[in-house]
Structure 1
Amino acid sequence: MPGTISDELLAVRYARWDGVDRPFTLVTTTTPRSPGEGEVLVRIDLATVCGSDLHTVNGNRSSPVPAVLGHEQVGTVLAVGPGAPSCVDGTPVVPGLRVVWSVTASCGTCPRCRRGHPQKCRELRKYGHEPLDERAPLTGGFATHCVLLPGTAVVAVPEGLPDAVAAPASCATATVAAVIAAAGPLEGREVLVTGAGMLGLTAVAMAALGGARVTAVDPSPARRARAGQFGAARVRGVSEPPGRVDIALELSGRTDAVRACLSALDIGGTAVLAGSVSPADTVPVDPEWLVRGLRTVTGVHNYRPADLRTAVAFLAARHAAHPFADLVEGAYSLGDLGAAVRAAQGADAPRQAVLPSLG
């Protein structure tokens, strides 16, 4: 880990993304040891390369350039600024506490926040998605440290939950918790999950735990087999009809998967779409089919603080029952972030691990 250069400043490093088809640049700089009002200084112990990072690096979604990417990570609190909030469950945020934090920081006072949508705050800041400010660059997971902004939800990580399992809670697991909440009661329901990557496998496990009979759909035989390990009662290829379902959870972002989810909905069914986070072909919806069938179609993007708490509790309770640890592989340094991203493009495991403390 970078050494101390003065009593007031700490040496830190981050991987700067300079745009599509350009290599990452490892930058060394300093940050104040004492965070500002409402801020928390965290050492990042492990980060994972998320699918959204790949969308950005590949140019499939607009993103500020330059930037510090990464928004799935777990870390240890080093210092707490005056007025910093407690964890979501009331646990004090203190030095030495192992934590994950939300992908967003919200103001808490705008109309969207007051209506219960802090994840769509009008003043939203988003880790791993902000333009680089060299005066305050620690806003992403691909760095040795992160400065948590006021309005960031923080959740303590229980002892015994491995870093590689905890890190995706900040994006994948919490997003799925939001999806499950939007779906409504699961007990005895037929549930379709399209996409068996990190989000899809997590959704399979959460839905099965909620008492649903889950059908997982994915074009990859290996991913379909893995879905069975996470609780899917049935697995299907994309050309196999899934049958009628009460709830459809779309987590792949594929246009054909969105169509499959809608067409599978039974009377009174609900489709929750969360995978469509980059531009794709539009999908027509027949309003008469929607109205006469009492169907509901809703979207989920980002999540609320309670969803992050649910995510960590779920992983703490279930990571031994399902092979979550097998979903993360690799051990890349910040200097090898480009290699980690390349590996993530076609790896069997949905996530690649980045260890900022390495050389």
Structure 2
Amino acid sequence: MTTLLTAPVLDLTLTPSPLAMVWNEPGRPHQLIASPDVHLAPGDALVEIEFATVCGSDVHTVRGDRPAPTPLVLGHEQVGRVVAVGDGAVRADGSPLSVGDRVVWSLAVSCGACDRCSRGIPQKCRSLAKYGHERITRGWELTGGFATHVHVRAGTPIVLVSEEMPAAVAAAASCATATAVAAIDAASITNDLDGALVLITGGGMVGLSAAALAVEAGADVIVSDPDPSRRAFARRLGAIAADPTTAPGAPEHLDEVLAVRARRGLNEVLVAIEASGAPAALQTVISRIGVGGTVVLVGSVSPGPSVAIDPESMVRGLVTLTGVHNYTLSQLRRAVEFLERSWGEMPLADLVGETYPLSELDRAIEDAASGRHVRVGVVPSVG
């Protein structure tokens, strides 16, 4: 008779208790809860949060723009330190995960075995679970980054980050930066970015991260955004800025900016990345894409109006239109690698404006919704 041996669950009772901010419905403030008992299954880990940032999707959820199961702990952009590990917990590269590791992790955990995982799109796993998006359940209460700790489940890609990288830079890796890498990957399938003219609409965290990646790859990058501070930041990253609200003929009007690039021999936009979700911006990227170009849609992550597309122009122009949502393990790892080599040369830490204690999360989300900052930070302090 064969006896099957299974690794035990690690039961932890922490003092002080881990805390989390729980969201229930639009218009209702977050509620602070304690979760003193944590049960780590084999492969799980408990990570103490160092720094988190408020993503646009957090704002959309709180405003009621998108459905969400409640109660839940929002937040999926964060960096932290491992304080406990279940049996067999590993990093993304397969090496053992250790207490004391400074890490970021994927915003989602997939099964690795379904048809979608097998096709190389684990971010669309049949049984996907997403940090900061799931209803709290018994045994998995610490599910999001707006907390003092996160219970990271087995199978979640976990990537080490250096001690030197600023926390405000590292936190974005698990959403905005990795998503930007995915967008750049989608664009690069049909066009080499080196020397290409790239148009990015939307100067939020994903758009500016994609601009930084494209600039590093050797592209000539135009960032179009109505906010002058976002356009100024794009210039700091090495991009050219365009103002979609200015009158035709003005120096920052997109047509004028494109005309200047044309005089330099860059006659067509070969890559257009739409990172704002605005219908007008979507029309812009489709109308400005050149022959053989690729349009990557990444900003439309909440319900909005339909946009008309002329199929004949796309067919005759050999245009590729693709959507990107979330990312793969490889893209998360390359996001961290990009941040590691770039944070000292690019002003990436400046993308985060105000920082709030966890107890003032509602203020932080309100500030993030105002658009005053590209990102707003949250630190696990409740005093």
Q: Is the 8 Å Cα contact of residues 91 and 156 (structure 1) preserved in structure 2?
A: no
**Distance in 2 between the 1:265 and 1:277 partners?**
22
Query: Does residue 1:30 correspond to 2:30, yes or no?
Result: no
**Distance in 1 between the 2:320 and 2:329 partners?**
24
What does 1:173-252 correspond to in 2, within 5 Å?
173-184=177-188, 185-239=192-246, 240-242=253-255, 243=258, 244-252=268-276
**Distance in 2 between the 1:286 and 1:347 partners?**
33
Paired AA for residue 282 in structure 2: V
Equivalent position SS for 2:354: strand
**Distance in 2 between the 1:357 and 1:96 partners?**
20
Equivalent position SS for 1:75: strand
Q: Is the 8 Å Cα contact of residues 35 and 142 (structure 2) preserved in structure 1?
A: no
Aligned counterpart, 2:360: 336
Aligned counterpart, 2:20: 14
Query: Does residue 1:143 correspond to 2:147, yes or no?
Result: yes
CA deviations on 1:274-317 (whole Å, 9 max, x unpaired) are: 00001111112222211111110000001001111111111111
- Any unmatched runs of 5+ in structure 2? 1-10, 247-252, 259-267
Paired AA for residue 147 in structure 1: H
Query: Does residue 1:270 correspond to 2:308, yes or no?
Result: no
CA positional deviation for 1:82: 1.5
**Distance in 2 between the 1:353 and 1:222 partners?**
18
Q: Is the 8 Å Cα contact of residues 46 and 74 (structure 1) preserved in structure 2?
A: yes
Equivalent position SS for 1:216: strand
CA positional deviation for 1:65: 1.8
**Distance in 1 between the 2:158 and 2:177 partners?**
15
Q: Is the 8 Å Cα contact of residues 89 and 309 (structure 1) preserved in structure 2?
A: no
**Distance in 1 between the 2:64 and 2:204 partners?**
20
- Any unmatched runs of 5+ in structure 1? 1-6
Equivalent position SS for 2:295: strand
Paired AA for residue 212 in structure 1: A
Equivalent position SS for 1:152: coil
Query: Does residue 1:157 correspond to 2:161, yes or no?
Result: yes
Paired AA for residue 141 in structure 1: G
**Distance in 2 between the 1:54 and 1:26 partners?**
18
**Distance in 2 between the 1:253 and 1:126 partners?**
21
What does 1:1-359 correspond to in 2, within 5 Å?
8-10=12-14, 11-32=17-38, 35-85=40-90, 87-184=91-188, 185-239=192-246, 240-242=253-255, 243=258, 244-359=268-383
CA separation of 1:236/1:134 partners in 2, compared to 1, >3 Å: closer, same or farther? same
Question: Aligned residues, how many?
Answer: 351
CA positional deviation for 1:68: 0.5
Paired AA for residue 128 in structure 1: G
CA positional deviation for 1:90: 4.0
Q: Is the 8 Å Cα contact of residues 45 and 357 (structure 1) preserved in structure 2?
A: no
Equivalent position SS for 1:227: helix
Equivalent position SS for 2:106: strand
CA positional deviation for 1:329: 2.6
Aligned counterpart, 2:263: none
CA separation of 1:115/1:198 partners in 2, compared to 1, >3 Å: closer, same or farther? same
TM-score (norm. length: structure 1): 0.94
Pairwise CA RMSD of aligned residues? 1.5
Determine what percentage of the aligned residue pairs are the same residue.
49
CA separation of 1:352/1:236 partners in 2, compared to 1, >3 Å: closer, same or farther? same
Q: Is the 8 Å Cα contact of residues 196 and 217 (structure 1) preserved in structure 2?
A: yes
**Distance in 1 between the 2:69 and 2:221 partners?**
38
**Distance in 2 between the 1:347 and 1:321 partners?**
25
